[in-house]
Amino acid sequence: MNKKIILTLGLLMLYSASLVANTSQMQTKEQEQQHEKYPSSKKQLNMNFTNMVLNLKLSDAQRDKIYIIILNSMDALVKPEDAFTESSFDKQKYIQLSKERKIMKLELKAQMIETVYLLLSPDQKKELRTMIEVKELIRQQQKLHKHH
């Protein structure tokens, strides 16, 4: 019950922060379109899958479902902090939980990506693929510039 309340509050906080950010950054429609077509390479490189998806033109229903999926996957991770008690620290438990967390994180991320991807329309999937390709091209260009 408490997890549901915390999850709901977290979702509401993320959603309201998103709304505030959107309204506080009033740009003309033309500026927004230009920015979407030609994102800065630094910004593009820092975008992970979640950020790319959230930059798509999503419906409110899609955005809400995606936030819930993200929060659920984060909530499912084991926490190495469980190795601490009020009076002790279990080193072996901490190591084990940290190892489990790394593996779990990869599995949960793959599951989250698959679930979110299924929510996208064909056009959104195409746009996401373009974002991924642009990110990779920028990464390749930066590697070339570092070697020269």
Q: In the predicted model, is pLDDT for residue 127 greater than 90?
A: yes
Sequence ranges of the domains in the chain: 1-38, 39-147
More confident residue, 67 or 3: 67
For 2-38, write each residue's pLDDT tens digit.
666 665 656 556 655 565 555 545 444 544 554 454 4
Classify domain 39-147 at the CATH class level: mainly alpha
Q: What is the DSSP string of 17-77?
A: HHHHHHHHS---HHHHHHHHHS--HHHHHT--HHHHHHTS---HHHHHHHHHHHHHHHHTS
Contacts of 35 (CB under 8 A, 6+ apart): 27
pTM for the model: 0.59
pLDDT digits (tens, 9 = 90+) for 71-124: 998 888 888 888 898 899 999 999 999 999 999 999 999 999 999 999 999 999
pLDDT tens-digit map of 41-63: 455 556 788 889 999 999 999 99
Q: How far apart are CA 30 and CA 51, in angstroms?
A: 22
